[in-house]
Amino acid sequence: MIHELGKVNSIFNQFLSELRDESLHRDRLRFRNNLQRLGEIFAYEISKDLDYTAKDIVTPLGEVAMRVPAEFPVLATILRAGVPFHSGLLNYFDRSDSAFVSAYRKRLSNQDDFEVEVEYMSSPSLDGKELVIADPMLATGRSMVLVYQDLIKKGKPKHIHIAAVLATAEGIKNVKKNLPPNTKFWIGAIDDELTAQSYIVPGLGDAGDLSYGKK
């Protein structure tokens, strides 16, 4: 199942338009803040898909039955571009455990092709858990597949949610092929093209560089 958040008119598209706007790219703080804001909106949307349970809440004047999440998902992100996005998700899923994976593109000699290197992973047990894997850009899907394969060394999740600000149809197809059938996709917008270097077009540029400076 694919949820494309940008198809619905909301303030989401204002934040996404600012991320794409080249004239604003010198303002790293604004870029990170907008990624964080989008993370919060993604968390709200994903929260609608979780299991809920009844809980009696005592107020100063009485008692009320409320529906609250039965559990909070584990939030996994890909360093370094995913950090502001993860921060937004964590603002809403504030009781969640977090997982972090270091993955980067290692360019080969022809410069148009690359391998994805996964160097580090830290995660709680994922057995029977809701798992959200967040990365701002889902281009070819190679990083997401390798990160998933590394994460499941920590156990088999109950459900998997992929959250990406921008994605391509090719990237989504690749991830769907390599992840379990119960995987759900939460995408800000789906762009049509990839460059020869596998960057999304029209995209927004390199989210990690725009957040933290060039590598």
CA 68/CA 164 separation, integer angstroms: 25
Per-residue pLDDT of the chain (215 residues), as tens digits, is 899 999 999 999 999 999 999 999 999 999 999 999 999 999 999 999 999 999 999 999 999 999 999 999 999 999 888 999 999 999 999 999 999 998 766 655 665 565 667 788 899 999 999 999 999 999 999 889 999 999 999 999 999 999 999 999 999 999 999 999 989 999 999 998 888 777 899 999 999 999 999 87
Q: Please report which helix (H) or strand (E) contains residue 21, including its range.
A: none
List CB contacts of 100: < 8 A, sequence separation 6 or more. Answer: 76, 77, 79, 120, 121, 122, 123
* Domains of the chain with bracketed CATH: 2-48+78-212 (3.40.50.2020)
CA 91/CA 1 separation, integer angstroms: 25
What confidence score (pLDDT) does residue 198 get? 78
Q: Are 188 and 6 in contact (CB under 8 A)?
A: yes
14 SS3 class: helix
CA 108/CA 30 separation, integer angstroms: 33
What confidence score (pLDDT) does residue 107 get? 57
CA 171/CA 153 separation, integer angstroms: 23
List CB contacts of 188: < 8 A, sequence separation 6 or more. Answer: 4, 5, 6, 12, 16, 38, 42, 164, 165, 166, 167
Q: Are 68 and 55 in contact (CB under 8 A)?
A: yes
Beta bridge pairs of residue 101: 78, 121
Q: Please report which helix (H) or strand (E) contains residue 15, including its range.
A: helix 12-20
